[in-house]
Amino acid sequence: MASNKIARINDDIQRVLSAKLRDIKDPRVQQGMISVTRVETTGDLRYCKVWLSVMGLENEKEFRRGIKSAGPWLRRELGSVLNLRYTPELVFELDHSIEYGAHINEVLNSLDIRQDGEAEDEH
């Protein structure tokens, strides 16, 4: 039963952070489209690891600095929205899976592959 509670809390944190990330005014953070791809909270609700995917990321080092400086504000906002015994400390990680998937899709679309219905005119 505890794992269901943690899963619900993870979903709530993901929903709230997705909305609050749009409100950050720091230009280091607003480099592209930010998505919260995954959230994992420890069982004691002390720490929460948040995976972010950013499409159009220009400078990863500056983004990391900006999101780290916005962390306390996000934690405070999270605590005001969610009624938890402890508001977890947020740890941010970058998730490159969406960019990688987009790159693979580009590569696949650029290949010259014949479809099954196409006839070969090499005779």
Question: What confidence tens digit (pLDDT) does each residue in 7-58 have?
Answer: 999 999 999 999 999 888 888 888 778 889 999 999 888 999 999 988 878 8
pLDDT confidence of residue 119? 56
What is the 8-class DSSP label of residue 27?
Answer: T
Residue 1 has pLDDT above 50, yes or no: no
Neighbours of 21 (CB within 10 A): 19
Structure tokens at 6: 């943690």
List of domains in the chain: 2-110 (3.30.300.20)
Structure tokens at 61: 């080092």
CA distances from 100 to 65, 103, 120 (A): 23, 5, 34
Structure tokens at 77: 């906002």
Are 95 and 52 in contact, with CB atoms under 8 Å apart?
yes
